[in-house]
Structure 1
Amino acid sequence: MTNRLADSLSPYLRQHADNPVDWREWDDATFAEARERDVPVFLSVGYAACHWCHVMAHDSFEDEQVAQVLRDGFVSVKVDREERPDVDAVYMRATLAMTGQGGWPMTCLLTPSGDPFFAGTYLPKAQLLQLLAAAQDAWTNRRDQVVASGANVAAQLSAVAVPTGSSALDVDVLDRAAEQLGRQFDWQRGGFGGAPKFPPSMVLEFLLRQHARTGDERSLRMVDETCEAMARGGLYDQLGGGFARYSVDADWIVPHFEKMLYDNAQLMSVYAHLWRLTGSGLARRVALETADFVVGRLGTDEGAFASALDADTDGVEGATYAWTPAQLVDLLGEEDGARAADLLRVTLGGTFEHGTSTLQLREEPSDPAWWERVRRTLAEARDTRPQPARDDKVVTSWNGLAITGLVQVGMLLERPDLVEAARRCARYLLDTHLVDGRLRRTSLGGRVSASPAVADDHGNLAQALLTLHQVDADPRWASAAYDLLDTALARFRADDGGFHDTADDAEALFARPRDPGDNAEPSGQSSLAHALLTAAALSGSEGYRAAAEEAVGASAALAGREPRFTGWTLAAAEALEAGPVQVAVSTDGEPSPLSRLAWLSPSPGLVTLAGREDTDGIPLLASRPLVEGRPTAYVCRGFVCDTPRTDVDEVKSALGVRATV
């Protein structure tokens, strides 16, 4: 018998539709029932690709004894953190405050008014039953203490100020951040800190921009060594492309096997930008393979991109991806199997579990044709294995990141099919996720959910649309982006010029979430700063630029202390420092080599457009005539332009395009 989650648009919630637990979704009716029954709320938060969420589901939520206890004494609520990041954020703050650590699955007990009085993460069945028994006893016999405790937690968390600042992130702060990152860098293995290691995408983007401004070779070396280490190890899928969520060890050998759209969307841009600076063949290959993974494995029928591939296959983590030497010999024969095992570090003892190994490619094969044949054979064999489940939920923010990444890779590495995939996705989001002028967070199978978009949805989608606008000068993209930014300024802006994560008319939780830190994905504040800055450069709006400066300044104090967790804010500050640099390429309507040169420039503050002079609604192309009938590049700073150029080498020099590309 299914429960109330069977009709949910969240794949994660649907995974729990057959649990004996009487799950509800997060809504007003759920808390009204808790008040009517006079019982606490049991809140469980997770996501579809979460390994330990699956473990707890199998151990506890599929168990009739647990289900009966929950039915008798609680109203049980299941939340997909990717669909409701606001709910996840406020209760994760409570979990961190009450226990000192967080993670998923997150387990909280709430009063019927939503105040948390217990918080934790993964709980085995025995511990969960003990907790539920203790909570029922306390609720029955010490109700006043429980309610007071929950109210106190909520009040204290609501009163905690978000660490912000009002100063500009000037070049001294930016250079000190690069120095601090150098002290935290793992100069032996790449990346920052020890195990587990996460791909530091936004920090790498900042370091690339800092190098472009200063020529600091140390910053470039941190990016180059990290990108090579990640791409050579088990974190990267050597057969199918794309990156896993993180490495459980410091050497990037054993991944946590879930593959997230937001990671791969950001990493394809990082590798393409590294290629732009260095001409690295490895960076070029990985950027293209990652883009192909996103389009080929995460693309949905509607033209958008799914959220993730699961960490597990049939309940076993990594089962699809791990190999033994014997399996390689069976597929490739004795000689090629042994050779492949040596190349890919597949050992008898195993580098993963139960004698299996992840695949590493620590050096380029001496015979590329042989390797390509072996890789194809292994990939085809792996496709016959049971495959991890896919979370088909379309998240606005992550699809925005994917659009931007695909356009960057497509334009830099001359893959127009990737740009077209980005266009399809953008059309879907604008047609489906915009409802009565307001943006929604998710959809599934073309059906949009009721979950409202948060700040990063607006920022990442606006930036994506403006990136597309720079490809084809289509006014639809720019107009929609400006509307999103105007909504964000009206509904999300905080008193200090930063941004709350939720709109002023969103559901009121016990605290209004706001996190200026960049972690696995850009914060709402930094994503909006980037989009506002791009909008200002394209439109000439002083209001957008001032708003971008204030948003970056609101994170100045945090960025000065914690550059590892403000990478996208620091990258925005580099763009503020470098720009605006506007490159208008006036053409006769035909493609010109001058157009691509702007994309090859490493300047972080640069925007570009190509088209006919005085194209309607495009300020950057206004009064930009052809010179002697030839395509002409106008390199401008704040709409004040240098001498028009028609020579490719002159434009290349003016834009700082590296000779290696």
Structure 2
Amino acid sequence: MNKLAGETSPYLLQHAHNPVDWYPWGEEALQRALQENKPMLVSIGYAACHWCHVMERESFEDADTAGIMNKHFINIKIDREERPDLDHIYMDAVQAMTGAGGWPLNVFLTPDKRPFYGGTYFPPVKAFNRPSWKDVLLSLAQAFKERREDIEQQANTLTTHLAQANQFGTQTALLPGIPKEELFTREQCDTIFNNILTQADKTWGGFGRAPKFPGTFTIQYLLRYHFSFQAPAALEQALLSLDKMLQGGIYDQLGGGFARYSTDEKWLAPHFEKMLYDNALLIDTLCEAYQLTRNNTYANTITHTLEFIEREMTDTQGGFYAALDADSEGVEGKFYVWSKAEIEGVLGEKAALFCEFYDVTEEGNWEEENILWIRQPLAAFAAEKGMEEAALQASLAESRRQLMEVRDRRIRPGLDDKILLGWNALMINAYCKAYAALGNAHYLEVATRAVDFLWENMRQPDHDTAFYHTYKAGTAKYPAFLDDYACLIRALIALQEVSGNPEWLNRARQLTEFVIAHFSDETGTYFYYTIQDQQDVIVRKKEIYDGAVPSGNALMAANLRYLALVFDHRDWTNRAVDMLGRLAQTVVRYPTSFGIWAAELLQWVKGTKELAIVGPEFRARMQEVHEHYIPFKVLLGAESSQPGMPLLQDREQPGKTLVYLCEDYHCIKPVFYIKEIINLIK
């Protein structure tokens, strides 16, 4: 048993019985490194990480290897999901050194926390053009003793690089007085679209080559670009990407929910871990696709995936768990795959039809097993078989139900049951969008309960607006990061749009004021990832890329734009413009790395419709708005005037519910129903 035994992170607890003398990141380990003048080995991963498990079995559970580590290094384990700030810093360092990154991330630091060497997975013996882990350990231990000056120089160089990397794409200050119409243009939007299409897979959907990630931000941009400018090619690529994922193995055809990415171009073989954020972002995007197309496949997938979230990733108190492991019984994907004989044993005479539809064969379609995926759309398959679509659907649904009963008796993948503030906020936003798209009141109840959970369990004591990042087993810890606040503010905005409760916007405003006060950079433009006065990081990073999750800076630009309209904060509008304006050239050039920013640029070009609904029937009118795809809007509702919200002031007329459509602080004559002005809105 080592120092990780007292932690709550499932990932750290996985390593609590290693013979390695692991410490969690904290003062005890950091001080020991300084006192003993030893280098630190910082090993970063997460509970659902397959190669993290592999390296643990091969090296960290090996007594001889552990002996070398304990003799020469202060060994620290970090859960990247608990400390994404440290993961960002040291991942950037390793990428600068090696040109690649990933997890497990193993980085070696000087006693004062500066990186000087690192890599990802190291095998126990030399293989895959990688040195053995023992050779790496012994070489670095010797170098630290005999070539300390070289190591210090390398550490200085890397630390300088990390500080300078904060400036990428954001250096150019805007000339004063340039109107928004010149900063953000239709031409930029067109170029973004064209640059996306150069990376698009026109056969299997998605963007780039394998491994393929969902690319939800890019898909959303295409949906909104088509809505804005009637571009069928944009819609076609967006829907192709969604359809191929929904038919693929990346989507759990039996249980619902999406795996993190596909290892191949066809979406057949996923990396089987399921992350909360991926599912939240895909639901978010599917809701927009459904509102735009009214394709019931998207509605059914939203419903199926949220059933999975509530069944397997929701805490009894209302929060959402972080992830499900890729492995069960030490084997990746074992929980999810089937042999043909197993399916025949369960389904009997229905097996032949099921196996043909889901590409199940004797030899298997993946590592001699079968991943369920759909080679041919249901309508085409039914026509080929001379079946009614409804009959085929019913047969497949009954077969899936029977197989789920069997699968539920298998040994389950590991569950990472910590609750992360930002990821929970992404899922709350997804539930709000699902309620808006499908009108299921249960989704609004789940979203509200989850926000209440965060407020009750993850706020710092005696503070209305300061939150913790992570919660598990009754304990919340680590000050929340920019992404946490940015996602939570966006979720509160979404919750007001579907509930009609203006209190959520007041909370969003208070959190925004807190972020401005505690995360702003020296220029007052962008935001740092970590809160001011945090002492255990060597640099304060500014994250601007939209990666697997949205950039906190991108979300804050959108939040500032929205809340500026609600509360008439012109300085927030100016800051949002400045944030995007400084980055616009980079966004246009690399749109798949800046997807949220790209959508924000598109919204500035198209403008934002401001909808204010006042009167006793305001909630019903708000729901009528949600029946339409209106991606660029501010939607407020109340029974009567709301102080501090100009769009809701002096609007009420006794006994009437009126809908006001405004833009740039100018409003047209109010109407009684959305349908009277929907053409103006669109």
TM-score (norm 2): 0.92
Which of 406, 419, 423 matches 2:448? Answer: 423
Alignment map for 1:185-204 (pairs within 5 Å): 185-204=200-219
Q: Is the 8 A contact 2:105 2:119 kept in 1?
A: yes
Change (3 A) 1:414 1:294: same
Change (3 A) 1:540 1:604: farther
Q: Which residue of 1 aligns with 2:616?
A: 588
Distance, in Å, in 2 between the alignment partners of 1:278 and 1:79 is: 44
Change (3 A) 1:131 1:570: same
The C-alpha deviation readout for 1:188-227, integer Å capped at 9, x for no partner, is 1101111100000111111112112111111111111100
Q: Which residue of 2 aligns with 1:51?
A: 50
Which of 135, 157, 181 matches 2:162? Answer: 157
Q: Is the 8 A contact 1:46 1:80 kept in 2?
A: yes
Q: Which residue of 2 aligns with 1:41?
A: 40
Q: Which residue of 1 aligns with 2:672?
A: 646
Q: Is the 8 A contact 2:640 2:652 kept in 1?
A: yes
Q: 1:598 corresponds to which letter in structure 2? A: V
Which of 556, 569, 574 matches 1:546? Answer: 574
Report the 3-state secondary structure (helix = DSSP H, G, I; strand = E; otherwise coil) of the residue aligned with 1:360: coil
Distance, in Å, in 1 between the alignment partners of 2:454 and 2:619 is: 28
Q: Which residue of 2 aligns with 1:562?
A: 590
Q: Which residue of 1 aligns with 2:149?
A: 144
Report the 3-state secondary structure (helix = DSSP H, G, I; strand = E; otherwise coil) of the residue aligned with 2:611: strand
Distance, in Å, in 2 between the alignment partners of 1:397 and 1:445 is: 18
Q: Is the 8 A contact 1:158 1:510 kept in 2?
A: no
Change (3 A) 1:244 1:549: same
Q: Which residue of 2 aligns with 1:393?
A: 418
Q: Is the 8 A contact 2:163 2:541 kept in 1?
A: no
Which of 170, 186, 199 matches 1:184? Answer: 199
Q: Which residue of 1 aligns with 2:371?
A: 357
Q: 2:19 corresponds to which letter in structure 1? A: P
Q: Do structure 1's residue 461 and structure 2's residue 488 form an aligned pair? A: yes
Q: How far off its partner does 1:159 sit?
A: 3.0
Deviating more after overlay: 414-423 vs 533-542: 533-542
The C-alpha deviation readout for 1:585-607, integer Å capped at 9, x for no partner, is 22315742x22232234333202
Distance, in Å, in 2 between the alignment partners of 1:504 and 1:238 is: 45
Q: Is the 8 A contact 1:44 1:106 kept in 2?
A: yes
Deviating more after overlay: 167-176 vs 520-529: 167-176
Q: Which residue of 2 aligns with 1:659?
A: none
Return 5+ residue gaps in structure 2 as ranges.
126-131, 175-182, 383-388
Distance, in Å, in 2 between the alignment partners of 1:601 and 1:497 is: 34
Q: Which residue of 2 aligns with 1:13?
A: 12
The sequence identity of aligned pairs, in percent, is: 33
Q: Do structure 1's residue 484 and structure 2's residue 511 form an aligned pair? A: yes
Distance, in Å, in 2 between the alignment partners of 1:615 and 1:484 is: 19
Q: Is the 8 A contact 1:597 1:652 kept in 2?
A: no
Distance, in Å, in 1 between the alignment partners of 2:563 and 2:376 is: 42
Alignment map for 1:499-510 (pairs within 5 Å): 499-510=527-538
Q: Which residue of 2 aligns with 1:470?
A: 497
Change (3 A) 1:457 1:591: closer
Q: Is the 8 A contact 1:581 1:636 kept in 2?
A: yes
Q: Do structure 1's residue 129 and structure 2's residue 134 form an aligned pair? A: yes
Q: Is the 8 A contact 1:322 1:359 kept in 2?
A: no
Q: Do structure 1's residue 577 and structure 2's residue 605 form an aligned pair? A: yes
Q: 1:453 corresponds to which letter in structure 2? A: A
Q: Is the 8 A contact 1:631 1:646 kept in 2?
A: yes
Q: How far off its partner does 1:262 sit?
A: 0.6
Distance, in Å, in 2 between the alignment partners of 1:475 and 1:14 is: 42
Q: Which residue of 1 aligns with 2:315?
A: 300
Q: Do structure 1's residue 607 and structure 2's residue 637 form an aligned pair? A: no
Alignment map for 1:50-69 (pairs within 5 Å): 50-69=49-68
TM-score (norm 1): 0.95
The C-alpha deviation readout for 1:391-427, integer Å capped at 9, x for no partner, is 1111111111111110001121011111111111111
Alignment map for 1:326-341 (pairs within 5 Å): 326-333=341-348, 335-341=349-355
Distance, in Å, in 2 between the alignment partners of 1:25 and 1:525 is: 29
Distance, in Å, in 1 between the alignment partners of 2:430 and 2:326 is: 23
Q: Is the 8 A contact 1:462 1:481 kept in 2?
A: yes
Q: 1:293 corresponds to which letter in structure 2? A: F
Q: How far off its partner does 1:609 sit?
A: 2.4
Q: Which residue of 1 aligns with 2:650?
A: 623
Report the 3-state secondary structure (helix = DSSP H, G, I; strand = E; otherwise coil) of the residue aligned with 2:631: coil
The C-alpha deviation readout for 1:364-390, integer Å capped at 9, x for no partner, is 263221121111111121111111111
Alignment map for 1:237-386 (pairs within 5 Å): 237-333=252-348, 335-360=349-374, 362-364=376-378, 366=389, 367-386=392-411
Distance, in Å, in 2 between the alignment partners of 1:279 and 1:203 is: 20
Q: Is the 8 A contact 2:255 2:304 kept in 1?
A: yes
Report the 3-state secondary structure (helix = DSSP H, G, I; strand = E; otherwise coil) of the residue aligned with 1:322: coil
Change (3 A) 1:360 1:3: farther
The C-alpha deviation readout for 1:322-342, integer Å capped at 9, x for no partner, is 112111110000x31111100
Deviating more after overlay: 636-645 vs 130-139: 636-645
Which of 238, 244, 247 matches 1:229? Answer: 244
Q: How far off its partner does 1:140 sit?
A: 2.1
Q: Is the 8 A contact 2:116 2:155 kept in 1?
A: yes
Report the 3-state secondary structure (helix = DSSP H, G, I; strand = E; otherwise coil) of the residue aligned with 2:141: helix
